[in-house]
Chains A and B, each alone.
Chain A
Amino acid sequence: MKSGRLLAVILGLATVALIAVGTIWPVSTAVAYAGGQGLFSSSSTPEQAVKNLGDEFRLREWSKAYENLANKNQFSEADFEHDLTGYYPSLRTFSTLESFGVFPLHASADSADVRLDMHWSTVVGTSNTTRNLHLVKTGDAWKVEWPLFKEPEVPPQVISEDYLRWDVIFRGPGDDWATQNVDSPHITIVDMHPVQRAEGVVVLGEILNQDVVPAYVSVSATLLAKDQSAIATESCFDKISHLLLPKQVTPFLIEFPNQQLSDVSAIRMSPFSSLVSAAAGPVIAINDEHLNPAPDASLTGQVVNESGKVLSVAHVLGTLYDKSGQVVWVVDKYIDRALLPKTPAPFNIPIPEDLARKISSQRTVVASFSFGGSV
């Protein structure tokens, strides 16, 4: 009883002491989030000026960041904000700057070049962007000349569309057990094999929608041991295009972290499909696709939205094949800006260096989404 009271007194005193320390010597981040100025130091060096800019981005203080720019007279604050958050709703609109890195490139007495690597947190993972910034010294302070990326303007026009659309009416809940229903789409796995990677086992392949209706598809895999017991079951999250139109093919990649292929005797695949309302559009063309060899192996190209609709999110999936046509790897990337009609948007997807030399060909597909419904 006595020791419990002593413990309570000690905890109380410790709490009071910590509050006092936090009040007298607060960390700069806490001050900044509380509305103070503590996070930002004087822009006495180019690196510090860019760091301050990054902190302002992180706090979404666009006005403050704009005010501190050296070339703010060249564009409006709205243009600046749209450059960072997107003019149209997109992945970037709903992202926050999670972290950033500042890397000096060059400096003289009154100008400097600094690279700013930004890591945005989005609903589908981290999106990385890089800006090379030029800075000038104004008085004692360094200021950033922001390289504004202005969204291309689409000329006003009317574009007619006549996409086919499918809607589905299922059997009602009160219907007799034998009442006819509409069958799920017929899909098939046209290629599948496992590979061993440093991080674990990966099962990859391709799925074809053999039917004449759109399919929502997914696939899971179970690794089986020699005694046919299940080692692990995983499903494909976003290394797949979940909406398949008739005769469309998607790659898939399923990861089994920390598993060894040598322990696996068999793999049980469980493809899943269901009917889904969908439209046969928009068409997205992929131009100038290139497989760039190592070092810095990558798949690059441009996606072009052929429709008249602004597409909020585009997911580029690249299937990489070896000389025999077997799937070697699947890479993907979300384009974090909205796809404007008839406007090319570049993509650059890194390819694992150790696989790059095995790759002989590729096939790229794009899945898209518009706010207000899948398209």
Chain B
Amino acid sequence: MRLHLALITGASLLFGALPGAFAQSGSLSVPGTVEAGAGFSIQTTGSGSAALYIVGPSQVFKQEVRLGGPVMLPAGSITHAGHYLVAVVTPSSKQTASLDVLPAAEPASISFLAEPSRLPVDLRDAITGAAYIFDSYANLITRPLPVSFKLSAPSGAPQVQTVTTRNGAAWVRMNSTPQRGEDTFIAQAGSISVSRSVHQVAGDPCQLTMSAHPSGPQLELETNPVRDCSGNPVPDGTIVTFTESYDGGLSSADVPLKRGIAKAYLPAHPGGVLSVASGVVLGNQIHWEK
């Protein structure tokens, strides 16, 4: 890596220090553009041996050549897209030309950012996907390409959008579905596709209700199966808070849902008011008179 940088820096300094000499030298015949990784030839003039330099933004190439004939560069010689300077240097002459290396036409990989990895159900434009298309040499393909995005839920029709890339990127927004579950989010360009998972989870509890029953000296408080407003069961582990207030006193318990319900035991106080809540959602109240 250091040698690479040193070569690039050295070559840049060499050519930068002698602009007049290059202007006076003879010309090279190089293709205006080539595809990254493709082989191509450079036609030189003159005679004798010389050093060929091809210097680009992140790659430098050097080869001893014979002047007066074509110089063949095999496939895989120049792989990084960008604007290159081509120079043939002898002790007495310098020839220069420019060369543009373009990304390969065929997509080879997709970097696909899908956010978020987890979200509540039934939210509009809440899922974003951004795809960046690269060729086999990891060059961003900047020419417009169609990218297909597909979000598939375990049930129901998938959401599909096709977007053309701009400057190598394409992005979409999609809705979360009313049903919870593990969605598959796929971005496809050409024959290449990448998959991501989006976990759709239940929203806040809806119509949180509980019942109370005496259990010895205590009260057994138990919620009905806790569901969100779309009918999805709220995940186990969600905290439900039971509170009992009586004569200026209070008892409470933070209880996680187990198999969809929460259950707690609190001391029985005649006249006590029992309430239930989860997060910012309040449930029903019970006045315990027994």
Residues of A within 8 A of B (CB): 162-164, 166, 176-178, 180-183, 190, 208-214, 245-249, 280-281, 283-291, 301, 306, 362-365
Contact = CB atoms under 8 A, between A and B. Distances in A.
A42 B82 CA distance: 92
B251 A212 contact: no
Contacts of A162: 258
A168 B212 CA distance: 36
Contacts of A212: 118, 201-202, 234-235, 237-238
Contacts of A177: 111
B189 interface: no
Nearest to A286: B252
A247 B202 CA distance: 12
A166 B237 contact: yes
A246 B281 CA distance: 13
The majority secondary structure among interface residues of chain B is strand
Interface in B184-203: 196-197, 201-202
B264 A164 contact: no
Contact of B118 (A182, A248, A288): A182
Contacts of A180: 114, 117, 196-197
Nearest to B259: A162
A327 B279 CA distance: 16
Nearest 6 A-B pairs (CB), nearest first? A178-B111, A247-B279, A280-B256, A289-B250, A285-B253, A280-B237
A245 B237 contact: yes
Contacts of A291: 248
Nearest to A211: B118
Nearest to B267: A287
A183 B116 contact: yes
A178 B112 contact: yes
Interface string B111-146: 111111110000000000000100000000000000
Interface of B: 111-118, 132, 196-197, 201-202, 204-205, 234-240, 248-256, 258, 264-267, 278-280
Contact of B113 (A166, A178, A183, A285): A178
20 contacts: A164-B256, A166-B237, A176-B111, A177-B111, A178-B112, A181-B117, A182-B118, A183-B117, A212-B238, A246-B237, A246-B239, A247-B204, A247-B240, A280-B236, A280-B258, A283-B255, A284-B254, A285-B251, A285-B266, A363-B252
A298 to B, nearest CB: 14
Contacts of A214: 237
Contacts of B235: 212, 246
Question: Which of B117, B237, B240 has the largest number of chain A CB atoms within 10 A?
Answer: B237
Contact of A248 (B114, B239, B264, B265): B239
A208 B277 CA distance: 13
A283 B117 CA distance: 29
Contacts of B249: 288-290
A246 B254 CA distance: 11
Contact of A285 (B197, B236, B252): B252
Given A162-B258, A212-B118, A306-B253, 10 more contacts: A176-B111, A177-B111, A180-B117, A180-B196, A180-B197, A190-B280, A212-B201, A287-B251, A290-B249, A291-B248
A211 B238 CA distance: 9
A287 B252 CA distance: 6
Nearest to A162: B258
Contacts of B112: 178
A183 B115 contact: yes
Question: Which of B132, B197, B280 has the largest number of chain A CB atoms within 10 A?
Answer: B280
Contacts of B266: 285, 287
Contacts of B264: 283, 285
Contacts of A363: 252
A178 B234 CA distance: 30
Question: Which of A208, A280, A290 has the largest number of chain B CB atoms within 10 A?
Answer: A280
B114 A183 contact: no
Given A164-B256, A183-B115, A208-B279, A247 B238 contact: yes
A287 B264 CA distance: 12
A72 B118 CA distance: 62
A209 B238 CA distance: 10
